[in-house]
Amino acid sequence: MNYENIMEAASYLKTKFTATPKIGLILGSGLGVLADEIENPVKIPYNEIPNFPVSTVEGHAGQLVFGLLKGANVVAMQGRFHFYEGYSLDKVTAPVRVMKELGVETLIVTNAAGGINESFQAGDLMLLTDHINNMGTNPLIGPNDDKFGVRFPDMSESYDIKLRNMAKKCAKELNIKLQEGVYVGNTGPSYETPAEVRALRTLGGDAVGMSTVPEVIIAKHAGLKVLGISCISNMAAGILDQPLSHDEVIETTDRVRANFLNLVKNIVENIQKSN
Ligand code: HPA
């Protein structure tokens, strides 16, 4: 998607929602319910947006939701695009560039992930301190358009330290347990083998999932501040004596939904107040 494609999508969206959403949210598997909490919502299905890819996977609604969350103008992606669905990383990350064009300054990315760190439990929430791109590719490969960002973006503080501290404070006030760690982005769609999980632990990973890393690379390229939260929906393969299933992922995210919603809403409120 070139600059004109992104601008065309953004221009269309600006005709539907005239306020400026300073905060963007990408809602992971089972976490899309957060968008249902947005007041005076303007919902725009992906298939209505010029140049937008269309979501396929069950459980991913596939729309942008604009409106007010805790007094802040936000835009939320209810359903994201995954590399494993066959979308190019260019398509996977295009919505981030559109958000930037809409005026978003802070991006909150969420996902379901498998716990690698053995001190974690299914149902924990984890603040991303950093990530490891284990997808074997990068969304910025190809000619660089300086209108989007620099050729070699710095990734030394991908997850904004002030936002992380704010998130920790919010979690503490709400009495919500919040783990911290490094997210490994794999392509999926097969879950990891136990050997891969041991390898990822040795590499420094605390949780593993199939998203987020491409979007965060593009967000940093675009100069956005990023906060990442994983819902540890299961322990990664080989840690517990049981097979992994997508049903477990969905069941666990359902179980921690209330905590997740409260935490993210509180963080949004705090970002809004600090602006
Ligand atoms: N591995 C990769 N992705 C995931 C997992 C997992 O264990 N759980 C949820 N998404």
pLDDT surpassing 50 at residue 146: yes
Any residues with CB less than 8 A from the CB of 227 and at least 6 apart, and which? 106, 107, 108, 109, 127, 128, 159, 160, 163, 164, 167, 267
pLDDT of 59:
45
Q: Is the pLDDT of residue 71 over 50?
A: yes
Residue 84 a catalytic site member: yes
Over residues 137-159, mean pLDDT: 98
Query: What mean pLDDT comes out for the span 125-148?
Result: 98
User: Is 234 labeled as ligand-binding?
Assistant: yes
Q: What percent of the chain has pLDDT over 70?
A: 97
SS3 262: helix
Count Cβ neighbours within 10 Å for each residue of 8-23 and write b for 16 or more, e otherwise. Answer: bbbebbeeebebebbb
| 228, 113 Cβ separation under 8 angstroms | no
pLDDT at 156 exceeding the cut of 50:
yes
The pLDDT value given to residue 57: 55
Residues in the chain: 275
Give the pLDDT band of residue 56 (cuts 50, 70, 90): low
Task: Output the CA 179–ligand 1 centroid distance in Å.
Answer: 17
Mean pLDDT over residues 245-274, rounded? Answer: 92
- pLDDT above 90 covers a percentage of the chain that reads 88
Q: Give the mean model confidence (pLDDT) for residues 174-178.
A: 97
What is the CATH superfamily name and number for domain 20-244? Nucleoside phosphorylase domain (3.40.50.1580)
CA distance 175 to 181: 19
Distance CA 191, CA 24 (A): 28
Catalytic residue among 210, 222, 235, 237: 210
ipTM value greater than 0.85: yes
Amino acid at 73: N
Report the C-alpha gap between 7 and 116 in whole angstroms: 39
- The pairing of beta strand 207-209 with beta strand 106-115: antiparallel
- On whether 35 is known to bind a ligand per the annotation, the reply is no
Give the ligand 1 atom nearest the CA of 115.
Answer: 7
Spacing, Cα 4 to ligand 1 middle (Å): 35
pTM reported for the whole predicted model: 0.96
To the query of whether residue 269 is one of the catalytic residues in this protein, the response is: no
Confirm whether 211 is a catalytic residue.
Answer: yes
Query: In this structure, what DSSP letter does residue 37 have?
Result: G
Residue pLDDT, tens place only, 95-132: 999 999 999 999 999 999 999 999 999 999 999 999 99
Say whether 60 is catalytic.
yes
